[in-house]
Structure 1
Amino acid sequence: MFGYAGEILRVDLTRGAIEEQETPEKYARAFLGARGLGAALLYRELKPGVDPLSPDNVLIFITGPATGTPLPACPRWEATTKSPLTNMYLCCSVGGFFGAELRFAGYDGIIVRGKAESPTWLSILDGKAELHDAGEFWGLTTEETEVAVRKELKDKRARVASIGQAGENLVRFANIQTDSRSIGRGGAGAVMGSKQLKAIAARGHGGIEVADEEGLMTLMRELIAEMKRNQAVQEFSKFGTTQFIDPVNEGGLFPTRNFQAGVFEGTARINAETMREQLVKKDTACYACPIACGKYSVVAEGEYANTFVEGP
């Protein structure tokens, strides 16, 4: 099946077992993309009435057919599970490099169920998956975990998705971090923590087989050329999502004081132009994306001097 690695990893943490299964072509064709395939797999795998923080819940990391290809602005993948915050279906889209690296390692996705006896992390390296003791990593921040896992693998280019202390302690809105990107909504980090799964690392050197490689490269060049001509894309590249602050505020839709009001009186201090001029130090990009909407920002002076963040 073109556009797919063809395999999904099944990880049962209770048994400490890892198996491979074929990516279901029926689902992949019927529910195109990571979100569709993830939803179909969750529907198939999850029994009704399951407690989101129980071993019976499943956590799915899944990619789409464009993930890991040269197509621009297509690095995204999905985390799918049952939310401990809403008790409902949860899907989270995230960028970075993890999804592409998982595909290069030979897999379209990972289905995790069960609960490990002790803190555990999973490595996926060129078609070989292993579970490891994560006792020394438990209690680390996600940034510290990423550094520690890469050191353990002796590979600075490994991509890591991990939880911090919020996930470990089952905070119901805890997220999963990867490449400074957040799987942020619905508490997927708490689900990962409930399974005592600290991190998943992926590294591979494979590729994605497509039906028409020459045609794909032609399309890639056309899309990049169009992006360079498109004013909206150029604004997004320059400012990231901060470009929406003023229009959203003018429309009365700004989430002021936790949605107590729709307009914020201080947007001039945080809008796109101000952020770009005063805080942004460099642009950052996800895999194969020329837009580079990520902004590495640093507070230079005052009470919060040296505070930094990488965000859109």
Structure 2
Amino acid sequence: MYHLATLAPPVQRVRLPFSRDQLMLLMAAINEVFLGVDIYLAHQISGTIVPREWIPIIFGPVAGALLLVAGAIALRNRPAATVLATLVLVGSIAVGVLGAYFHLVRATLPTGPEGEQITVRLLVWGPPILGPLMFAMVGLLGISAAWVEDPPDSGRLRLLGGARLQLPLSKTRAYFLIVSLGTLATLLSSVLDHARTGFDTQALWIPTVVGTFATVTAFGLGWVDRPNRGDLTIYVVAMLLMIVTGLVGAALHIDDNLTSRGAFMAERFIRGAPFLAPLLFANMGMLGLLVLLDPRSEVLGR
């Protein structure tokens, strides 16, 4: 289903220069680059970046560049581009899972008393376990976009050599569920981060409420086979709230990191409120809105 056309039928007459899959892959490339930058800033807090901490920092920009190369190759050779993109995105999933494991190990007390090896306090003050998993989320999203679904919304992927793979869900429903998972990870990261301040202001509850609303809404649309106009309207409101929350949150974090006279100090931006973190809310909101676009691949739409 072309969900955006369900909300606004006139858009069916509008021909976008890029397909939904192409825009998703572009967003995946952008996300890889920004994840690398964000992790570099986060790892600067310790003062020394150990060798394994350079893996996501280097991988992010390299993966983003390779995905852009794959996009260029796709103009002439879609199968080759799909293979390249898939290899990069599988690597992204591996980096995300390994990063989460390393963070979990650092947030535990293996020699502590029974029942205290892992506690909420350790998870709050330790390295963010869910942060690296955004690499895995981007990998899942990108792999979903890389392979052509033929016919659209059938869940049948066209593989190399004419082979077909039938999935239990359509690509659109899979996108909704991936957006829900990504939003949930963003929500939990925000909760753990704000827990360090004890939620000392009521404004800190806003991303928690908005993130919960968006997570449930996106999951609901992934669960429903044919959502109606009312369902889609609620979903759009949730994604727009995510974007606004992210932009306002980033502005507030930047303001908190400035000195009392509004001066910039790099050290405050490294060790203070993470100014890129709230943008994950805006990022997930934008990805969520892209799901509503025409499900036809650029290959099928020619």
What is the TM-score of this pair, normalised by structure 1? 0.25
Structure with the bigger RCO (C-alpha within 8 Å, sep 6+) is: 2
TM-score computed with the length of structure 2 as normaliser = 0.25
Higher percent of residues as strand: 1
